[in-house]
Amino acid sequence: MYVHRDKGFGASLASDAGLAAVADEELMRLIGEADDSAYSELVTRHLNWGLGFAERLTGSRADAEEIMQEAFLRVWTTAFRWRTDGARFTTWFYRVVMNLCIDRKRKKVLEPLATAGDPADPAPGADRNVFEIERDRTVARALTGLPARQRAAIALCYFQGLSNREAAEVLAVSVKAVESLLTRGRKAMYTRLASKKDDILGAL
Amino acid sequence: MKPRRFRKLLSSYGANPERWPEDERAAAVALLAASSEARALRDRAETLDRMLDTYRVDAADDGLRGQILAAPHNPAVARVEIDQKTGQGGVRWRGIWPQFAALAGACVLGFIIGTTDLAAGGEPDSETDLASLIFGDDDLEGLGQ
């Protein structure tokens, strides 16, 4: 279904099934030339990673899935403008996902309460029991209740495993500011979760 | 490393040394090994880490992946691409060329039909000519006799 265009560098890479070794930034250049194989490779690499980030920022699986669709659509429609001048794809992509999450949460705040729904609604996986689902919701509510930048800092550094420098790039702040956001965010999380500690850890 | 900085590492990054900044990790681990106070602080930070670690996210399913891969093939997406590309050096025709070809074909056909009808038919200049155009010459035979 996804026909690779027979042109130049991208065609030879795809025909050799060598895209797995190609850097994200080069994949973006190929996607700018409408290369389906490069797009598929980039989706394979970053879908789960971005989905985890979006779900932890929004607290909603459904929102996170829609955001990932929109984020990858932006990859496709803007790749032609991509310049390989040292910019990292992951930094740019995390920013795109983060901004989409913040926009969505802002819109939900503006919606009437009757239609806004529960802000924290991680989709239960088939292998989770009712205690685990409730535990996830408790942590998700605490996280989504933080101010956006604190939430993003914790999601990036703690859950996604970015270094403080990488997180600083995504958030467009200094490393010191990232540490400040993390400290305030973790403190607030502890305050919110301390009274439920036994419920959360007891289910383990 | 000073205890104050160690506390800051714990409060920012948590109890796992793998999350501490690489350039400070060795010094922080050394302090942890040497100080019981540092270990007590680490244990306190670990409580929050354990609660956070319970928040798991499921991997994407095949349906979501399929939707994302199919999205660029939606004709509406191609139109967005063209809007973005205009003025940026080049238009990507993929996805929209069938619609463009159909529109161009309809225009050419309309032009041909319009010009040939007028050229062939001309302006009727009498009632007879007008009747001929409507009914055809065979229908009018014998009417004037």
- For residues A86-111, average pLDDT: 85
Q: B102-142, pLDDT tens digit by residue?
A: 778 887 888 887 776 555 555 555 555 555 555 555 555 55
**pLDDT value for A46:** 96
User: Which positions in chain A touch B13 (Cβ < 8 Å)?
Assistant: 157-158, 164, 182
A32, A82 Cβ separation under 8 angstroms: yes
Q: DSSP H helical segments within A19-78, as ranges?
A: 24-31, 36-58, 61-78
* Alpha carbon of A140: minimum distance to chain B alpha carbons (Å): 7
Per-residue pLDDT at A80 exceeds 90 = no
Position with higher pLDDT, A109 vs A193: A193
Question: Sorting pLDDT into bands at 50, 70 and 90, what band is A116?
Answer: very low
Helix axes A89-110, A61-78, angle to 10 degrees: 130
User: Which positions in chain A touch B84 (Cβ < 8 Å)?
Assistant: 77-78, 80
- For residues A123-143, average pLDDT: 75
Whole-angstrom distance, CA of residue A164 vs CA of residue B19: 9
Mean pLDDT of chain B: 76
A149, A171 Cβ separation under 8 angstroms: yes
User: Which positions in chain B touch A7 (Cβ < 8 Å)?
Assistant: none
**pLDDT value for B129:** 56
Name the closest residue on chain A to residue B61, using Cα atoms: A48
**pLDDT value for A148:** 93
Contacts of A123 (CB under 8 A, 6+ apart): A61, A62, B58
Question: Sorting pLDDT into bands at 50, 70 and 90, what band is A87?
Answer: confident
Per-residue pLDDT at B145 exceeds 90 = no
**pLDDT value for A65:** 97
Q: Which of residues 37-96 of B touch A (CB under 8 A)?
A: 47-48, 50-52, 54-60, 64-65, 67-72, 77, 80-81, 84-85, 88, 90, 92, 94
Contacts of A125 (CB under 8 A, 6+ apart): B56, B58
- For residues A91-118, average pLDDT: 75
Q: A9-30, pLDDT tens digit by residue?
A: 334 344 446 888 999 999 999 9
ipTM of the complex: 0.79
What end-to-end distance do the CA atoms of chain A give, in Å? 44
Question: Sorting pLDDT into bands at 50, 70 and 90, what band is B89?
Answer: very low
Q: What one-letter code names the amino acid at A34?
A: A
Per-residue pLDDT at A127 exceeds 70 = no
**pLDDT value for B42:** 95
**pLDDT value for A110:** 56
Please judge whether A34 and B19 are an interchain contact, meaning their C-beta atoms are less than 8 angstroms apart.
no
A119, A56 Cβ separation under 8 angstroms: no
Please judge whether A68 and B50 are an interchain contact, meaning their C-beta atoms are less than 8 angstroms apart.
no
Please state, in angstroms and as integers, the Cα–Cα distance from residue B1 to each residue in A66, A157, A204, B32, B34, following that order: 45, 22, 35, 10, 11
Q: B3-53, pLDDT tens digit by residue?
A: 999 999 999 999 999 999 999 999 999 999 999 999 999 998 999 999 999
Mean pLDDT of chain A: 83
What is the separation of C-alpha A39 from the centre of its chain, rounded to a whole number of angstroms? 17
Whole-angstrom distance, CA of residue B29 vs CA of residue B15: 11
A51 in contact with B, Cβ within 8 Å: yes
Position with higher pLDDT, B84 vs A198: A198
User: Which positions in chain A touch B88 (Cβ < 8 Å)?
Assistant: 80-81
**pLDDT value for B15:** 96
Lowest mean pLDDT among A7-16, A67-76, A169-178, B133-142: A7-16
Please judge whether A163 and B52 are an interchain contact, meaning their C-beta atoms are less than 8 angstroms apart.
no
What is the separation of C-alpha B136 from the centre of its chain, rounded to a whole number of angstroms? 58
A31, A42 Cβ separation under 8 angstroms: yes
**pLDDT value for A121:** 52
Per-residue pLDDT at A159 exceeds 50 = yes
Question: Sorting pLDDT into bands at 50, 70 and 90, what band is A113?
Answer: very low
B12 in contact with A, Cβ within 8 Å: yes
Integer-rounded Cα radius of gyration of chain B: 40
Lowest mean pLDDT among A102-116, A125-139, B83-97: B83-97
A197, B51 Cβ separation under 8 angstroms: yes
Closest residue to A34, CB basis, from B54, B65, B94: B94
Q: What one-letter code names the amino acid at B82?
A: I
- For residues A129-148, average pLDDT: 85
